[in-house]
Chain A
Amino acid sequence: MLNIVVCVKAVPDSSMTAKLKIDPITKSLPRLDIPLVINPLDSHALEAALQLKKKYSAHITILCMGPPPAGNIVRECLALGADKGILLTDPAFAGADAFATAYTLAKAIEKNGPVDVVFCGMASSDGATEWVGPEIATFLNMPVVTMVREIVEDQGDEWIVKADYDHGHRKVKLKLPAVITVTRNLNQPRTLSFSGILKARSKEITVWDREKLDILAERVGLKGSPTYVTEMANLENRRKVEILEGSLQEKVERLVQILSDAGVV
């Protein structure tokens, strides 16, 4: 039986971005002011796991680090068909960068037991570093393929996957256990169903804090983060329109000037 871990992140609902406010002190996005949803790319990671479960015998564990309300996201994943949920929550985990997050997740994966595949979304919709997946693989000493858009061969412990690469793609053979980060091209995530929610009633969500994971306080959260955010700002929309007028020659000259000023030519 395949043992699959899917890492999911609770992120602010992107449909409510107007309500997002940057904390001027911590330069972070307070998560509790607006509803949390499953990171969209993590939905594709979960869907990949669910499709494997349908094809083969598999056990899917959801792993999520976040504040207690993130437990709702874990419950949602169980309602979608995952078997077990683990919520990593502790005030000590707050302020973690990608490195500290990946370390904490890797420790939880180790504690959870044998694993064949770890699926992650390629990036989160709020942090978007794309580092957590590869860093989990590093901590677990596993191979990693990022930006996977297709699982070509998934029998046995040697898989072939197709992953995005610059303007094309590459086919990669990898040996399990491995970490795979996925793009939105991989699949179409399923939607929740009433019966899925009812089935999730009997599924377990385990809550682990730092002590349960038996890791040092200086390795997690803000303390364990070698990187920090110096500034965060709202992106200004600087699009502007200029309609070129005059003769063809004048228009071309003006266009060349604009492109030159913009550093394009």
Chain B
Amino acid sequence: MIDFTFTEEQELFRKVAREFAEIKIAPHVPIMEETNRGWDEVIKELAEAEMIAITIPEEYGGLGMGYIARLIALEEIARVSVATAMMNQIFGLGIEPFIKFGTEEQKKKYLPKFATGERLATIAVTEPSGGSDPKGCRTKYKKGNGTYFLNGRKCFITNSHTADTQVVLAVDEDNPEAFTTFVVEKGLEGFKPTHEEHKMGMRGCNTGEIEMKNVSVPAENVLGGEGKGLKVAMTAIGDVGRGGMVGCALGLQQACLEAAVKFSNERILYGKSISNLQAIQFKIAEMKIDLEAGRLLGYRAAAMQDKGERSSNEFAVAKYYTTEAAQKAAKMAVDIHGGYGCMEEFPVTRYLRDSYVLGPSAGTSDIMKVIISRWALS
């Protein structure tokens, strides 16, 4: 028998995350929208509410709550601010390689500080030449005397300027088949965040480029072993990266549905609220169907993840479905609002802009189809 209900404890997790998002994050949203900044304050709130510590094991100062709990938290945060959920999801993505592939020394050194928010993590894989083909990576490393020298650029890196610790994928200058992930810390000579992006949505969530010019990284900063970089990066992105995007998309779908229901109940046309019109009802029904189906896909994959199973294929399906559904929901929510849907004081405009940033993050829908078709054909 399959039990589709959340436990009593998971319901409490949702309550914590919802209260946190509504009380602590919502006031920051207008500032983030207006200035494309405000992340310092939001990160402080995330750290104080232990949102960054969810997946970190208890023995390293985290909460050890697992991936269903993470999905619940991201969903509730995204319902209020997709930008904030995105930041938090990428902190989790940066932390994951340490949990899965870190040495005991690396775990002890980094994870307790990630848990408190004293240090912030991200992962840097995507480059100007592309992100979904990590083998096309042009950031190079050269092994010296117990040291590695990194050269290259990474782009579209979430938390590029806010993260203190970046997990960087690079290829051996002398062996194009050898990929390695390195822990690169802010302050190392030759390493710097450069260009900041101005995205159409998720404003206030830092995205940008990083540059490495002869950055000297000690051998102890190799994460997951030399030559194992693709496995490290793709495991984290496949399970945690895609999973996080599912949380962002589900939260946005929920927000769109709530906004559409509220507006359609309040807006009077032909003497009655427009929620009485079948054209509106069908849109709302579609949004609800997509949300329910998306939740089943997402939480099923997260449940597998909590059992220690690989879930990247299941998350590819969930990521494809929920991010597409979020775009559809945002458009329908805007449509239901009519002319008001074009006005910035209504949150649906933000939802529409945010929904289009969900698509390419952690792999576009077309890339998800490539992964899913490989899975189906294998």
Contact = CB atoms under 8 A, between A and B. Distances in A.
Contact of A191 (B8, B19, B69): B19
A72 B9 CA distance: 9
Interface string B11-51: 11101100110010000000000000000000000000110
Contact of A193 (B8, B9, B11, B49): B49
B63 A194 contact: yes
Task: Tell me the interface secondary structure of chain B in the complex.
Answer: helix
Contacts, number: 38
Nearest to A192: B16
A75 B50 CA distance: 20
Contact of A197 (B9, B19, B53): B9
A72 B6 CA distance: 13
A201 B10 CA distance: 12
A198 B12 contact: no
B54 interface: yes
A247 interface: no
A192 B15 contact: yes
Contacts of A76: 12, 15
A195 B16 CA distance: 10
Contacts of A194: 13, 16, 49-50, 53-54, 63, 65, 69
Contacts of A197: 9, 12-13, 16
Contacts of B49: 193-194
A75 B23 CA distance: 22
B117 to A, nearest CB: 14
Interface residues of B, number: 17
Interface string A192-235: 11110110010000000000000000000000000000000000
Interface residues of A, number: 12
A79 interface: yes
Given A191-B20, A197-B16, A75 B8 contact: yes
Contacts of A193: 16, 49-50
A201 B15 CA distance: 16
Contact of B11 (A72, A195, A198, A201): A72
Interface string A89-122: 0000000000000000000000000000000000
A192 B19 contact: yes
B63 A195 contact: yes
Contacts of B9: 75, 197, 201
B12 A192 contact: yes
Nearest to B9: A197
A63 to B, nearest CB: 19
A72 B8 contact: yes
A32 B8 CA distance: 16
A75 B12 contact: yes
A89 to B, nearest CB: 15
Contacts of A79: 12
A198 B12 CA distance: 10
B275 to A, nearest CB: 14
Contacts of A201: 9
Contacts of B69: 194
A192 B20 CA distance: 9
Interface string B67-79: 0010000000000
From A191, A193, A194, residue with most partner B Cβ within 10 Å = A194
Interface in A176-202: 191-195, 197-198, 201
A192 B19 CA distance: 8
Contacts of A75: 8-9, 12
A236 B69 CA distance: 42
Contacts of B23: 191
A76 B19 CA distance: 14
A236 to B, nearest CB: 20
A28 to B, nearest CB: 25
Contacts of B53: 194
Nearest to A37: B15
Contacts of A198: 63, 65
A76 B9 CA distance: 9
A195 B50 contact: yes
Nearest to B53: A194
Interface string A45-77: 000000000000000000000000000100110
Contacts of B63: 194-195, 198
Contacts of B50: 193-195
Nearest to B12: A197
A192 to B, nearest CB: 5
A66 to B, nearest CB: 15
Nearest to B64: A198
Given A76-B15, A194-B69, A197-B9, 10 more contacts: A72-B8, A75-B12, A191-B20, A191-B23, A192-B16, A192-B19, A193-B16, A194-B16, A195-B50, A195-B63
11 contacts: A72-B12, A75-B8, A76-B15, A191-B20, A192-B15, A193-B16, A193-B49, A193-B50, A194-B53, A197-B9, A197-B16
Instruction: For the complex of A and B, list the 5 residue pairs with the smallest distance between their C-beta atoms, beginning with the closest.
Output: A192-B16, A194-B50, A197-B12, A191-B19, A194-B63
